[in-house]
C-alpha cells in the first residue's frame, strides 16, 4: 500500500497461508534495513551508485539534467566544485512477475535514486528477488534512468 506521503514510499508485505498457518514471506522494513547504498557525484557529470553489501556499482551520466543544474555542481571543466552525495529511498514498489510463465513468481523491488533533494530523481534501482532458503533473496540489480 502507498504511504500517502510525497516520498513515493510503499508498505509491502507478502504472506503465506498454507495449512491454516500465516507466515510473513516479505516485509518491507526488513528489506529497507538489509541493503545500503552510497551515491556520489563524480567529475565528468557522472553519479556513482554503489551497493555497499555487494560492492556492485552503476554509473549514471547526468548531462541530461541541463546546464543550470550542472553549473551549480561543476566548473567549466566538468570537475565537481565540492563533494556531493545523494541517496536511495526506501522501497517504493514491489511487483510480482512470472518471468518463465510457470506460475513461479519473483519480486521486483523499486527504489528511487535521488540527487540533491527528494524531487531530484536520477533513476530507479530495481532489485530482482527470488524465493530461496525460506526467504526472498536478491539475484540481480539494474537501474533505470529517468
The answer as to whether 33 is a domain residue is yes
In degrees, rounded to 5, the angle at the alpha carbon of residue 83 between the alpha carbons of residues 80 and 87 is 115
The answer as to whether 34 is a domain residue is yes
Q: How far apart are CA 106 and CA 140, in angstroms?
A: 11
The answer as to whether 113 is a domain residue is yes
- Which DSSP state fits 74? B
Q: Is the pLDDT of residue 9 over 80?
A: no
Range of the domain at 42: 13-145
> For residues 124 and 110, is the Cβ–Cβ distance under 8 A?
yes
pLDDT, residue 30, reads 96
pLDDT tens-place string over residues 53-99: 989 999 999 999 999 999 999 999 999 999 999 999 999 999 999 99
The answer as to whether 134 is a domain residue is yes
The answer as to whether 128 is a domain residue is yes
pLDDT tens-place string over residues 16-53: 999 999 999 999 999 999 999 999 999 999 999 999 99
Q: Is the pLDDT of residue 6 over 60?
A: no
* Burial (0-12, 13-18, 19+ Cβ within 10 Å), 98: exposed
The answer as to whether 136 is a domain residue is yes
The answer as to whether 2 is a domain residue is no
pLDDT, residue 146, reads 78
The answer as to whether 62 is a domain residue is yes
Strand partners, 113: 88, 123
pLDDT, residue 54, reads 87
Predicted TM-score (pTM) of this structure: 0.90
Total number of domains constituting the chain: 1
Q: How far apart are CA 110 and CA 2, in angstroms?
A: 13
Amino acid at each position: 500500500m502507498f504511504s500517502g506521503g510525497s516520498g513515493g514510499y510503499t508498505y509491502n508485505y507478502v504472506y503465506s497461508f498454507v495449512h491454516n498457518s500465516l507466515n510473513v514471506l516479505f516485509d518491507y522494513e526488513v528489506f529497507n534495513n538489509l541493503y545500503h547504498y552510497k551515491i556520489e557525484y563524480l567529475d565528468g557529470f557522472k553519479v556513482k551508485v554503489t551497493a555497499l553489501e555487494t560492492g556492485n556499482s552503476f554509473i549514471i551520466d547526468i548531462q541530461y539534467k541541463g546546464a543550470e543544474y550542472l553549473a551549480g555542481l561543476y566548473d567549466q571543466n566538468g570537475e565537481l566544485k565540492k563533494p556531493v552525495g545523494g541517496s536511495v529511498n526506501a522501497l517504493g514498489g514491489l511487483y510480482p512477475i512470472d518471468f518463465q510463465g510457470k506460475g513461479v513468481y519473483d519480486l521486483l523491488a523499486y527504489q528511487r535514486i535521488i540527487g540533491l533533494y527528494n524531487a531530484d530523481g536520477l533513476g530507479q534501482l530495481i532489485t530482482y528477488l527470488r524465493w530461496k532458503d525460506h526467504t526472498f533473496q536478491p539475484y540481480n540489480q539494474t537501474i533505470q534512468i529517468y
